[in-house]
Every structure is written in structure tokens, then in C-alpha cells.
Structure 1
Amino acid sequence: MENKIEQRKALNLLGLARKAGKLTTGQDLVLAAIRSGKAKVVLMANDCGQSTQKKFTDKCKSYDVALTTEFTKQELSAAIGAKRSLIAVTDPGFGKKIRQLLFS
């Protein structure tokens, strides 16, 4: 039960980060954010394609960026108000709080 509450809080924070302009979405932009060191945490839908999952799992490991696949495309899309399966949080404050909620 508590895990669901933490997940809901993380999704709510994503919505706030979107409004604040602290998110990057889409494969090319998220990849650029990872490579440049701007991505603090990456959220990837657990129902996206296998090649996408492998590509971003490997990139996040290589660049030491936190990655979670706890959410579906529908959950991520609803949280930010746009149809997306890959999101990078670029703000250190939002990134830290989301990591605390999802990885602790």
C-alpha cells in the first residue's frame, strides 16, 4: 500500500516538474540529456519496446543515471498530460525527491 502512495507522489511531482519546464521527453531529447549530464532521473514505461528498453537501460548504466520502469505508458502520459513513454527529469531538486520516493 505504501509503495502505491510513493508512486502516486512521484507521478504528481512529474506533473509539477512538467509545469515548471524541468522535464525532457522523447527518445532523442532524453538521450541528449543523459549524454550531457542534465538528466537526474529517467522514467521509462515498462510497456515500451524491447529495443528502447535495452538502449536506455544501457545508456543510464553507462552514464550513471537513475532509471525506473515502475510505470506504464498510460500512467506516465496521464502524469504529464502528453502521450510519452520516456521522461528525463532535469532539475536536481525534482530529481532528488523522485529518487527518494522510488528508490528508497
Structure 2
Amino acid sequence: MIMNNVLTLIGFAKKSGNLVLGETLCTEGIKRKKISLMIIASDLNETTTKQIIQLCESEDVAYKILFTKDELSKAIGKENYGLFGISNKKFSRALIEKIDVL
């Protein structure tokens, strides 16, 4: 149930324009302090995962690794995305609260 709530919140973030998708845009968003939470798919390739985690840690951006690319992509109605940046702090806080309960 909580997992569905997290995926629903991700869908709302997209609909409201508060979701950044893909490696290039997420990397730029982190560096420009536009992203407050990164969601990384558990099946994303290891090299990309390590790079994003290092960048998040160096820029003090929260990140969570959960769900598969398929699960995350279905939540937003697109295919094959494994990196999601949340640009709205309220959405980020709500997601972190839900995720921490898992």
C-alpha cells in the first residue's frame, strides 16, 4: 500500500512539472541545486548509480534507491527511465516520509 502511495506521489510530481527525468537532466539539476531528492531505480546500471550517488553526496542532495525501472516508468506513463529528480521540496519531504516507512 505504501509502495503504491510512493509511486502515486511520483506520478503527481510529473503531472505538476516537478519531476526531472534521465541522467543528463538530473545531473544538471543536481549541480544547479534544482533537485532536492533523487530516486534511483534498483536495476539501474552500476556505473551510473555510483556516479549519481557520488554527485548527490557531494552536492548534499537526498537520494533513495528503490523500485525497478519498469515500476518507476509505469508510474509516469513513460518507458525505460531509471533516474528521477524531484524539484519540489514539499514533494521531496512527502516522498522521503513515505519511503522511510518502507
Same fold (TM over 0.5): yes
Gaps of 5+ in 1: none
Amino acid at match of 1:12: T
Q: CA deviation at 1:66?
A: 1.1
Deviations 1:4-52 (A, max 9, x none): x222211100101111111000101000111111111101111011110
2:12 aligns with one of 11, 16, 32: 16
Amino acid at match of 1:37: K
Mapping of residues 47-62 of structure 1, within 5 Å: 47-62=43-58
Corresponding position of 2:78: 82
Amino acid at match of 2:17: G
TM-score by length of 2: 0.92
**Aligned pairs, how many?**
100
Gaps of 5+ in 2: none
Q: CA deviation at 1:93?
A: 1.2
TM-score by length of 1: 0.91
Amino acid at match of 1:10: V
CA distance in 2, matches of 1:68, 1:11: 13
Q: CA RMSD in A?
A: 1.0
Alignment identity in percent? Answer: 31
